[in-house]
Structure 1
Amino acid sequence: MGLTRCKIFGKILHLLLFVIFITIDPSPAKPDQDDEEGIMIKITDTVLEIIQTDEIASEALRTGLLNLSAYADKIHKNVENATKKPVKRGTIVVALSRITKHLPNAAALIQDVSLTNIGIKSSLTILTYKKSIDTQRKISVMNPFLLPINDLFSVTEGPEEITIICSDRSKDIILKNIGSKPKAEINGLVAVSVAFSEKQATTPNIIYTLLSALATKRINIFELVSTYTELSFIIAKEDMEPAIKAMNIYFNK
């Protein structure tokens, strides 16, 4: 009787092992197609975020001039760091190709600016003060009552500072009227001022285009003064000539 029970138990155990064996697929599971698509979308989003911070590459991609393989090599590590997983270079190239299809409709970063006037004001100074109620009050009564009406005079207030741009001949009047030493004083500056149409005043990237023209010549811009259709770059006197050449490209274009 005991032997019979052992045989029956053995057969049942054998049958269970057989069922378990045939239900387990020894081959590794293939990723679901939806999962693969999700991974690709995440990589594409990451590549898009990277290229949107790279102005030169973004414009080259938009115009079809970017070497996708070379750029994929350049950003490979950044993509892996952002996605926190290994990524093949070919996957990045595919992502760039996907992005390219949507870029031709995007507006160009560099706009076709047409300047109507270029002017220069020399012998300028920048004075920066710590912001206070007393300083604000003293500045408010200076222009136009104490300063020459044709002089450049601009006041910019930040959270902690007040910056004044003025002519050298107005500087002494301002220093005397405020009565305290500025935290910064920069002399020997000029303003290269440009004007454009009202239509272009509402066009995106007009200022960016002009700034880029100066940036390519490595010109440091101390301050910007802008009105509706005018923009003045406050720069060092020695940068005046290359700045004018950069702006002349867009004059009466």
Structure 2
Amino acid sequence: MITIPQVVEKIVSSQPFLAEALVDGLINISSLARKIQDQVEQSVKKPVKLGAIIMALNRLAPSLEVKINPGLKEVITNVGDIIVRSQLVDFTYKNSNTLIEKHTELLKSIGPNQEFFYTMVQGVFESNLVVSNTLREKVEQVFSTEMLVSKSEDLSSVTLKLPSTNSQQLGFYYFILKNIAWAGINIREVISTTNEFTLVVNDTDIDKTFSVLKNMGKN
């Protein structure tokens, strides 16, 4: 027969972010107990007192800390180089039949120069282009016939080189974005590949962003 503590652990463990908040002491235990009381009673097929659920939650938190932290912290501490770029411009254009041709034309005009920052992300309805400010006029010239949705200047980026196991670790990106949000940093753009993760922020937030990302594995 399944016990109340087993049911409570199953409910909490099925929601990783709830489990993390419980470990960090961010949740009112009594409120959580009331919220899951019906689920617990359905699982054990009998009425369950609120106090029994509260006791199970209090006993569960320390064991969850052991289960949650090692895997995620191991990935976080294995994050590689942090690359900072400043003086960036963010363009967003509406997708069109000629947009890819314009990207190709722009890349050919730039050549193999590695000093420029250049990223392009194509969405369903629009495409985003984040480039070094020195390319701003060239972008505006090449894309002059395309529909500009928005343009933002005075931006910087922080790029993380990620361990290959990042895609297998539940909550990895949540952990990064949570720390950024708690620091009061507004993210302007997110750009990612399999093993790279770039945040574009306002120039005024770049020092704080770098500090948060550099120290997050030490928390």
Q: How far has the Cα of 1:165 moved from its partner?
A: 0.8
Q: 1:1-253 alignment to 2 at 5 Å? A: 40=4, 44=8, 47-48=11-12, 52-54=16-18, 56-60=20-24, 66=25, 71-79=28-36, 88-96=49-57, 103=64, 106-108=67-69, 110-112=72-74, 113-146=77-110, 148-179=113-144, 180-195=146-161, 198=163, 204=169, 206-227=172-193, 229-249=195-215
Number of aligned pairs?
A: 208
Change (3 A) 1:161 1:41: farther
Q: Following the alignment from structure 1 to structure 2, what is the Cα–Cα distance between the partners of residues 215 and 55?
A: 19
How far does residue 132 in structure 1 lie from its aligned partner after superposition?
2.1
Deviation sequence 1:117-150 (CA, Å, 0-9, x none): 3332111111112222222332233214346542
Q: Distance in 1 between matches of 2:94 and 2:181?
A: 29
| Alpha-carbon contact 2:5-2:53 (below 8 Å) kept | no
More helix by share: 2
Cα distance in 2 between the residues matched to 1:102 and 1:220: 34
Q: Deviations for 1:155-199, whole angstroms, at most 9, x for unmatched residues?
A: 111222211111122122112212234111111100123335x56
* TM-score, normalization by structure 2: 0.71
Q: What secondary structure is seen at the aligned counterpart in 1 of 2:106?
A: coil
Q: 1:82 to 1:176 in 2, by over 3 A?
A: farther
The answer to whether the 8 A contact 2:89-2:154 is kept is yes
**Mean CA deviation greater in 136-145 or 164-173:** 136-145
Structure 1: 5+ residue stretches without partners = 1-33, 61-65
CA distance in 2, matches of 1:84, 1:140: 61
Q: Structure 2 stretches of 5 or more lacking a match?
A: none
Task: Tell me which structure has the larger Cα radius of gyration.
Answer: 1
Aligned counterparts of 2:34 and 2:120: Cα–Cα separation in 1: 45
**Structure with larger RCO (C-alpha < 8 A, sep 6+):** 2
Question: Does structure 1 retain, via aligned residues, the 8 Å contact 2:116–2:131?
Answer: yes
Cα distance, 1:119–1:52 mapped onto 2, change above 3 Å: closer
Tell me the percent identity: 16
